[in-house]
Structure 1
Amino acid sequence: MKIIKKVWGIIPGFVISILIAVVAKTIESRLPIHIVGASVIALFIGMIINHFWNPEFLKPGIKFASKKVLKFAIILLGASLSVGVILSVGKLSLMV
């Protein structure tokens, strides 16, 4: 029961984080030239929202997204980069 309550506490802030990411990606795709990436746009959107609206019930989900999900995404990004480099270099890179 305690785990379910914790999960339900995370959901609202996590959903807001996902919505901010979707809005940032949409804005990035509609820019005529690539000036800034979606992550920078999402950072600015989050800063603006946090300045004007900062409810306590969103904090657990935002903390979860910024700590756990972001770390996992960075690990996956690093793993995909390593696999891509290995595949492009070939079998000789496996000896290193």
Structure 2
Amino acid sequence: MAGGWTADGAVQDQIDSTVDDAVQRARKALGHGESEHYCQECGTEIPEARRLALQGVRYCVNCQAEMDKKQAASSLFQTADEPHIFRWGSSFLATAGRDRDIFP
């Protein structure tokens, strides 16, 4: 059912597009190829156990953690522990954490 100026199925098309984008980002994030012996960011040696456990690893644990934090901060998607922002009329309500903290 279309609403206003939207075409039939427009909402589902947007949902499908969002899911497709997330799948593409996840696939891109997967390592592939041979792992590096030294971190591309700081130059420290990457332990053999890490190189064997993760195919195509390019960074040490510390640098990868920092990169993950930066990516999460700029991500369009929120994890369960990140603040949520809800639209309420013309204003926004930011919560301190999970939905269950406000809506038990």
Structure number, greater radius of gyration: 2
Structure with higher helix content: 1
Whether TM-score is above 0.5 comes out as: no
Greater length-normalized contact order (CA 8 Å, ≥ 6 residues apart): 1
Structure with higher strand content: 2
TM class by shorter-chain length? Answer: 0.3 to 0.5
TM-score normalised to structure 2 length: 0.31
TM-score normalised to structure 1 length: 0.33
